[in-house]
Structure 1
Amino acid sequence: MILKGLKEKSNKNYIDKCVKNRVVDSNTNKINTVGVIVDQSEFKDLNWLQSLSTTLNVNPTNLKIIALVNPKQKEVNVYDLYFTKKDLGWKGTVKTDILKTFTNTDFDLLISFYKTSKLSLVFLSAITKAKFKVGVLAEEQVNDLILDIDINNTTIFETELVKYLNILNKL
């Protein structure tokens, strides 16, 4: 238990370091690649996430979705890319190739689509390389734009996201 607490503390410190050292790119380049981080226990509508690429005028092959799953729960995994909290190491390290590939991909837009503040989700949002980060969790500081909307109300989220991305000349 002590080691688990120390690991969480080291990762929280790494999140703070990532947030502090992040340079926000203020360019108006159009969005070509999108990464989405979800919690499978909260959201399972894979079809809507894939249709979001059409709304954002992004090629579906440039949309990468990764989900946090709980291996102890007996639910069917609907996501191709997934990870567990055990896949995260100490001081900002990741243990699997899936996470290494996802975090090293330079996304034009990263959508943190989860409502529960879990360290592993916030950690992944913080370390993933992205020019612009959008989230729905109001208390986290890893996002450039926060849309405080219920994640089950996808039409409002989609409308608001498109509205703000148009204002920022990203679409």
Structure 2
Amino acid sequence: MILKGFKEKSNKKYINKCTASRVVKPTNAIIKTIGVVVDGQQFSDLEWINRLAESLNVNLNNLKILSLFNTKKEEVSVYTNTFSEKDLGWKGQLKSQTAKDFVDTKFDLLINLYQSDALALQVVSAATQAQFKVGLYDANQDLNDLIIETKLDDKALFKTELIKYLNILNKLSNE
């Protein structure tokens, strides 16, 4: 039990280190690649994510989704790339190759679609190299460049607000 607390503290230090050392360079680069971090227990609408990417004029081949899914025997995830809390080691180390590959990918946009305080989701969000990070109001606000004040189940509002702000920031192509 004590080791679990130390492990949690080391991961929180890692998150703080990542957020403090992150340098945001303002660019007018158009979004071509999107990464989505989602809690599979809270959000399971894969089609909505695909439609969101299409609305942002991003090819579905340039969309990667990583889901936190703490499996139970009778449950199956709708997402193909999953990891669990057990895949989180000390100091932000990820044991899952799927999560490592996701973190190593450079994205133009990272969308954090979770409201929980799951440490594994926060570590992945902090470690992912993305030019621009968007998240929900209830999540850890230090991880995101843009915070949309909505609930996870209000998908239509999230989509319209995201498109509105990305247009203002000249991040979307007009094709």
Give the TM-score category using the shorter length: over 0.9
Instruction: State the match for 2:11 in structure 1.
Output: 11
Amino acid at match of 2:129: K
Whole-Å Cα distance in 1 between the matches of residues 163 and 14 of structure 2?
Answer: 31
* TM-score normalised per structure 2: 0.94
Instruction: State the match for 2:159 in structure 1.
Output: 158
Secondary structure, aligned partner of 2:150: coil
Q: CA deviation at 1:150?
A: 1.2
Instruction: State the match for 2:113 in structure 1.
Output: 113
Instruction: State the match for 1:141 in structure 2.
Output: 142
Is there any run of 5+ residues in structure 1 with no aligned partner, and where?
A: none
Secondary structure, aligned partner of 2:64: strand
| Deviations 1:125-146 (CA, angstroms, capped at 9, x unpaired) | 1111100000003442110000
| Deviations 1:28-54 (CA, angstroms, capped at 9, x unpaired) | 100000000111111110100111111
Q: Do 1:25 and 1:132's aligned partners in 2 also have CA atoms closer than 8 Å?
A: no
* TM-score normalised per structure 1: 0.96
Whole-Å Cα distance in 2 between the matches of residues 161 and 117 of structure 1?
Answer: 22
Alignment of 1:82-93 (within 5 A): 82-93=82-93
Q: CA deviation at 1:117?
A: 1.6
Whole-Å Cα distance in 2 between the matches of residues 9 and 128 of structure 1?
Answer: 20
Q: CA deviation at 1:73?
A: 6.3
Q: CA deviation at 1:111?
A: 0.3
5-14 vs 66-75, greater mean Cα deviation = 66-75
Secondary structure, aligned partner of 1:165: helix
Instruction: State the match for 1:60 in structure 2.
Output: 60
Amino acid at match of 1:13: K
Whole-Å Cα distance in 2 between the matches of residues 54 and 127 of structure 1?
Answer: 26
Matched residues, number: 171
Q: Do 1:147 and 1:157's aligned partners in 2 also have CA atoms closer than 8 Å?
A: yes
Amino acid at match of 2:148: L
Instruction: State the match for 2:102 in structure 1.
Output: 102
Q: Do 1:134 and 1:147's aligned partners in 2 also have CA atoms closer than 8 Å?
A: yes
Secondary structure, aligned partner of 1:141: helix
Residue 91 to residue 4, structure 1, CA distance change in 2 (3 Å): same
| Deviations 1:108-127 (CA, angstroms, capped at 9, x unpaired) | 00000011121111111111
Point out 4+ residue stretches in structure 1 off by more than 6 angstroms. Answer: none
Q: CA deviation at 1:72?
A: 3.3
Amino acid at match of 1:151: L
Is there any run of 5+ residues in structure 2 with no aligned partner, and where?
A: none
Instruction: State the match for 1:169 in structure 2.
Output: 170
Alignment of 1:18-97 (within 5 A): 18-72=18-72, 74-97=74-97
Q: Do 1:103 and 1:127's aligned partners in 2 also have CA atoms closer than 8 Å?
A: yes
Identity of aligned residues (%): 52
